[in-house]
């Protein structure tokens, strides 16, 4: 059983709490939506699932229904007791903590995990990027984020949303927007649609270029994205590097895919 709008509002009233704007809290109050998310995540009895921002447990309960072993992380100490109460008897493990500061190796151990989460808009991009960089135990993700953020995560060359974070995701993983979610299923109702993004970690990165150097160049290029690369990468990449990498110095950052960035990084290392 998952939580309805009436149940969520009653729980918040009981603990005399309103959704925290500072924590980016927007609670899903539609059982069909959380079950859809669990279905798109493709998790079941043999899977370990980590949920970030579990809130009152709407999505948590839907994930538990799949038979997966669920660990739910929640930062809001006022919600944690209610979350524990709502998932009691389902086998869900509740962890109180900040996902941006968790000891992920200690929490996840040697197992492979799937992340399924309704991520707060204010931390979604840095959190996904950090998990890709630093937490290889998370092999797959199904995240609900602001639609604009979702489009950036999954964008490729030629897409309007393509940017530095798109290259970061493409280096580590493949990503695809697999659905949208309207504001009406949340309390409070956000002003924008949300997107469901499926991310699957590659067995090896997209390029064997040095990651640190690659991301240094990507940051510099997209930091001045209106400029030609010979200007935005001035001091980092010389004319001979562009030639060796097969990249036009007149190109702009959004014209390069992750493989082209990898060639620039390799040739300039």
Max Cα-Cα span within the chain = 67
Q: Do 194 and 227 reside in the same domain of the chain? A: no
Q: Residue 24: what pLDDT?
A: 87
Q: Is residue 261 part of a domain?
A: yes
Mean pLDDT per block of 10 residues along the chain (269 residues) reads 89 91 91 97 96 96 97 96 97 97 96 95 92 97 97 96 97 98 95 96 97 97 94 94 97 97 95
Domain boundary among 179, 201, 223: 201
Residues 38 and 123 in one domain: yes
What is the DSSP secondary-structure string of 189-239?
Answer: PPSS-EEEEEEEE-SS-S--S-HHHHHHHHHHHHHTTTS-HHHHTTTT--H
203 and 39 Cβ atoms separated by less than 8 Å: no
What pLDDT was estimated at residue 122?
A: 81
- E runs forming strands in the chain: 27-28, 48-52, 69-74, 93-96, 113-118, 138-146, 173-181, 186-187, 194-201
On whether both 54 and 83 belong to a single domain, the answer is yes
- Do 176 and 88 lie in one domain? The reply is yes
Q: How many domains does the chain have?
A: 2
| Claim to verify: residue 231 and residue 175 sit in the same structural domain | no
**Residues 252 and 160 occupy one common structural domain:** no
pLDDT at 182: 97
Residue 16 backbone zone (phi > 0: left; psi -120 to 50: alpha; other: beta): left
Residue 206 located in a structural domain = no
84 shares its domain with 178: yes
Gap between the Cα atoms of 23 and 197, Å rounded:
21
Beta-carbon count within 10 A of 186 CB: 22
Choosing from 201, 231, 253, the residue where a domain stops is 201
CA dist 178 and 63 (Å) reads: 18
Pair (136, 231) in one structural domain:
no
Residues 216 and 185 in one domain: no
- What token pair was written down for 155? 């964008």
Task: Specify whether the CB–CB gap between 96 and 121 falls below 8 A.
Answer: no
In a domain, 100, yes or no: yes
Nearest residue to 85 (alpha-carbon basis) of 94, 77, 76, 98 = 94
CATH classification of the domain holding 227: 1.10.8.100
Residues 59 and 158 in one domain: yes
Do residues 215 and 195 both lie within one domain? no
> What is the residue range of 25's domain?
5-201
Q: Are residues 197 and 216 in the same domain?
A: no
């Amino acid at each position: 059983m998952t939580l309805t709008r009436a149940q969520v509002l009653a729980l918040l009233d009981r603990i005399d709490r309103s959704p925290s704007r500072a924590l980016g809290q927007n609670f899903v109050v539609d059982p069909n939506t959380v079950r859809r998310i669990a279905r798109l995540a493709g998790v079941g009895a043999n899977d370990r699932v980590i949920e970030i921002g579990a809130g009152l447990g709407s999505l948590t309960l839907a994930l538990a229904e799949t038979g997966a072993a669920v660990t739910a992380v929640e930062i809001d100490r006022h919600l944690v007791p209610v979350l524990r109460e709502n998932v009691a008897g389902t086998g869900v493990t509740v962890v109180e903590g900040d996902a941006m500061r968790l000891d992920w190796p200690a929490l996840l151990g040697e197992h492979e995990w799937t992340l399924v989460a309704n991520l707060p808009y204010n931390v979604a991009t840095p959190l996904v990027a950090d998990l890709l960089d630093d937490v290889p135990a998370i092999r797959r993700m199904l995240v609900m984020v602001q639609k604009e953020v979702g489009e950036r995560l999954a964008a490729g060359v030629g897409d309007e949303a393509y940017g530095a974070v798109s290259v970061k995701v493409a280096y580590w993983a493949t990503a695809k927007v697999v659905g949208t979610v309207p504001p009406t299923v949340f309390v409070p109702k956000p002003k924008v649609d949300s997107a469901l993004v499926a991310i699957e970690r590659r067995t090896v990165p997209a390029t064997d270029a040095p990651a640190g150097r690659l991301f240094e160049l990507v940051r510099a290029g997209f930091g001045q994205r209106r400029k030609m690369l010979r200007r935005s990468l001035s001091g980092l990449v010389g004319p001979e590097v562009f030639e060796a990498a097969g990249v036009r110095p007149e190109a702009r950052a959004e014209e390069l895919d992750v493989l082209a960035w990898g060639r620039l990084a390799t040739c300039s290392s």
